[in-house]
Amino acid sequence: MGPLRWGIMAAGKISYDMATASAALSPKEHFIAAIAARSLESAREFADEFKIPKAYGSYEELVQDPEIDVCYIGTLNPFHLELGKLALSHGKHVLCEKPLGMNVRETKELIDYAREKGLFLMEGIWSRFFPTYMRLREEIDKGSIGDVLQVFVSFGVPISEVDRIKKKEFGGGSVLDIGIYCVQLAQYVFGGDNPVKIISGGHLNENLVDESTSTTLLYTNGRTATLVTHTKCQMPNEACIIGTKGTLKLECPFWCPTHLTLADGKTHEFPLPPGKATKFFRSMGLSYEMSEVRRCINAGMLESPTVSHKETLRIAEIMQSIRKAVDVVYPQDII
Amino acid sequence: MGPLRWGIMAAGKISYDMATASAALSPKEHFIAAIAARSLESAREFADEFKIPKAYGSYEELVQDPEIDVCYIGTLNPFHLELGKLALSHGKHVLCEKPLGMNVRETKELIDYAREKGLFLMEGIWSRFFPTYMRLREEIDKGSIGDVLQVFVSFGVPISEVDRIKKKEFGGGSVLDIGIYCVQLAQYVFGGDNPVKIISGGHLNENLVDESTSTTLLYTNGRTATLVTHTKCQMPNEACIIGTKGTLKLECPFWCPTHLTLADGKTHEFPLPPGKATKFFRSMGLSYEMSEVRRCINAGMLESPTVSHKETLRIAEIMQSIRKAVDVVYPQDII
């Protein structure tokens, strides 16, 4: 079997990091075949930087290229659904940046479409493929902290003036951009159970998207997740997973951690693959999810068990509840 | 002016610690004149241990002793109102363990009664008199972390099987016992402003008191406090006070901290007065609030500006909102 042939949609920072991270993988297994952007110029510039053979000035051209197996969607949130469907409609598997859709409706629509087409689709919750997260899972499963009762996590960074965060038309707000990392962690820890109650409050910016939120997810059997997002200040950004016998701590930044502190207080390191500098922090870790995409596609799977469609939908439902509680409404919600 | 003459009501653990902590103070300024308990035997035992001249087998006898200036109430929560009024009615100033009352009604009743009698009354929020808290206040006021936007704090300890916590008739539950430390911190940081919204969820035990809660307090100008209580597991128990320019951290345990980490990452120590072993952790720090009580009484003040009646009432209001959200109802609420 030859290398998985990737087509990258959008030439922004996260796409830059995906291309950079791919260098950690064997060229026999992964090959970036093409890059597309809305301008041919920026696609060509990107292609030159990463020695990608083909550059396209439109996403339509890329999805028509028969030498591409899987599309990576690295656009702003409001374009995930449209571009996901475009890629799927041309028989391409899809790895889409999180969140998969702007709301539950869009998320469901894209998942249904992928299933209908019989193609692989995964939301890019890259955190879950970090070795640190896998070790966390093992520790929870073997009971090293007893019954897990509380997830206590914050994600706060001063990004409130970044257009992607600030503007409603760009799908802005803290929940969709950074809150998803907190929500997915709670769901990861509590095995994908549905919370029985979702309680949230927050503050909106002048564009009526959330600049901060503070959320309580109540689960059965006395379990709780407390999640805080902030776009105006730096928070601890650690995740404490607390049980009756002790705590597991994903060290800051919990969403791409290389260090896990176990109940005995000892910190274990899970180093990243080496690579060039990335735009976002620790993006070499994107290579982990790229490996998972290849593994699943080669096995003929339509979804990854680690970020299943059901899981993606639940996360979308929780985020939508939080947004509803804090009164954030996107145009996509009104259709 | 002679020493302030204390009468201790109840011979339990916290009273033991008050007596122990008083050793850090000058005998020219503080003198424990008497101890009362429901049984004369335990009062005498306590008196012997601390060389207290008088032991009473009832609270009524103690409050009739003319050689007592101030009563310290160290009983279970449901008895604070009754004993507070008893002491005040006999012309004694009062320092009462937190919470002052079981609910807003009781709190208001005791405060009104003290004012009517023209006597000093303070809720024993001892944390606020720690030098660490005072330094925290100074740092906030001088703007060293910019605009304070978030308080992120947990108080979780495995005490769910302790009668005081477990039983409704003892005034149990996490909010009244440990949650008050989180609430008072938020109020301390945000200068006593009223939250504009209080959102909370939690889990109840078999007696229908809260074994855990997770609360969001929303304040004006984008400010938030996220507070978690737990009685079944050990939480981080640090308090992060987060601003636009950095974070101040009250190191664990935040409610009686000897270490404050400033925005530059440097940790400053504020050591406790030395003393004998105490029942609860760092109770030598109770001496700080004892000093404040003396300062206020000698100055003819009826309340401390650091734990004012208004502040005590606001804290009671917030706790009552949290309890309401999690459906905890005490008999005292039903009258």
* pLDDT in single tens digits along all 335 residues of chain A: 789 999 999 999 999 999 999 999 999 999 999 999 999 999 999 999 999 999 999 999 999 999 999 999 999 999 999 999 999 999 999 999 999 999 999 999 999 999 999 999 999 999 999 999 999 999 999 999 999 999 999 999 999 999 999 999 999 999 999 999 999 999 999 998 999 999 999 999 999 999 999 999 999 999 999 999 999 999 999 999 999 999 999 999 999 999 999 999 999 999 999 999 999 999 999 999 999 999 999 999 999 999 999 999 999 999 999 999 999 999 999 97
**Using N-to-C axis directions, what is the helix angle for A40-50 and A13-22, rounded to 10°?**
30
What is the domain range of residue A123?
4-127
- Residue A217 CA to chain centroid, in angstroms? 20
Residues B177 and B187 in one domain: yes
pLDDT of the residue at B148: 98
Alpha-carbon distance A9 to nearest alpha carbon in chain B (angstroms) = 35
CATH code for the domain in which residue B100 is found: 3.40.50.720
Let me know if residue A190 belongs to a domain.
yes
Query: Which class for A23: exposed (0-12), middle (13-18), buried (19 or more C-beta within 10 A)?
Result: middle
- Residues B71 and B219 occupy one common structural domain: no
Q: Which residues of chain B have pLDDT under 70?
A: none
Q: Which two tokens stand for residue A75?
A: 């656009």
| One domain, residues A87 and A221 | no
Give B104 to chain A, closest Cα distance, Å.
Answer: 24
Chain B CB contacts of A240 under 8 Å are 235-236
Same structural domain, A143 and A111? no
Query: Does B96 lie in the same domain as B68?
Result: yes
Q: How far apart are CA A100 and CA A122, in angstroms?
A: 8
* A218 and A142 within one domain: yes
Which ipTM was obtained for this model?
0.95
d(CA B156, CA B63) in angstroms, rounded, equals 36
Whether residues A29 and A138 fall in one domain: no
Nearest residue on chain A to B226, alpha-carbon basis: A214
Same domain for A183 and A242, yes or no, is: yes
Q: Can you give the pLDDT at residue A335?
A: 77
Both A156 and A64 in one domain: the answer is no
How far away is chain B from the Cα of A257, in angstroms, using its nearest Cα?
A: 19
Domain total in chain B: 2
Tell me the β-bridge partners of A248: A241
Is the same domain home to A213 and A279?
Answer: yes
Which H/E stretch holds residue B239?
Answer: strand B239-243
The minimal CB distance from A149 to the residues B152, B232, B247 is found for B232
**Residue A151 φ/ψ, nearest 5 degrees:** -110, 130
Q: Is A200–B203 a contact, with Cβ atoms under 8 angstroms apart?
A: no
B66 in the same domain as B24: yes
Q: Tell me whether residue A294 is in a domain.
A: no
Inspect the interface and report whether the beta carbons of A211 and B222 lie closer than 8 Å: yes
| pLDDT, position A192 | 85
